[in-house]
Amino acid sequence: MHRSGIIVAKAWLAFRAVLLAVALAIPACAYDVPLTEHSIRDAYFLGTRQTGLGPDFLAKYTHEIPNLSLGRYRSFASLETPFTQVAIFSSKKLNYSAQDAVKEFLDKPLPFRIHLEICYMIDAPPDALQVRIVQNKKDLLPASSERSLFFPASDEYTSPPPIGETMQFEFSSEKIDSSTLTILIDTPDGQHAESMFDLQSIR
């Protein structure tokens, strides 16, 4: 579990770095589903352009959860929309055109994902966090979910205890609309936190 937790932590850092690397100014537009040919081209050019990093991009898709922390470790919630998936995919491809992206993704259903990295106590127990995803005053049930203990970064000579959990929820993107999405988190030691995403301001 210790090695697995380190791998998960590194994957999280890589995911946030990729989001930041492709961050460019995005026109104001609400959550974009289903993806049209125009929106796929927008995502492609977002992912492949090398200049004009937008400092607000990561803030829109990744929120720190200040109520939950442990020392220098902070909790985060991140969204991965179909639009950002196309942008990130395009950023990693060589000899890949906008036409290729349209051909690959038009009429192809892509999921809506929520990633959580929750740090809240030393020796955190497994599967102990209670998480609700709410939109329009209704709980959304994920099509799938994964969770594992979160271990802080360490070297080969130390084995720190888990300090929280990482979680990923996957939803049918068609079941998400452009209204505010709220993530409610309760820990086994009585802490409560929430994170709200305005899907009118992201794609």
What are the CA-CA distances from residue 172 to residues 94, 109, 144, 189 (Å)?
A: 29, 8, 10, 32
What is the Cα–Cα distance from 199 to 38, expressed in whole angstroms? 19
What is the Cα–Cα distance from 47 to 30, expressed in whole angstroms? 18
Is the pLDDT confidence value at 132 over 70?
A: yes
Q: What pLDDT is stored for residue 30 in this prediction?
A: 82
pTM of the model: 0.82
Q: What pLDDT is stored for residue 26 in this prediction?
A: 46
Is the pLDDT confidence value at 16 over 60?
A: no
- List the one residue out of 72, 64, 70 whose CA is nearest residue 123: 70
Residue 51 confidence class, pLDDT cut points 50, 70, 90: very low
Distance of CA 14 to the CA centre of its chain: 12
Residue 14 confidence class, pLDDT cut points 50, 70, 90: low
Residue with tokens 């939803």: 171
Contact 83, 60 (CB under 8 A): no
What is the Cα–Cα distance from 171 to 173, expressed in whole angstroms? 6
| Phi, psi (rounded to 5 degrees) for 160 | -70, 155
Tens-place pLDDT, residues 72-91: 999 999 999 999 999 889 98
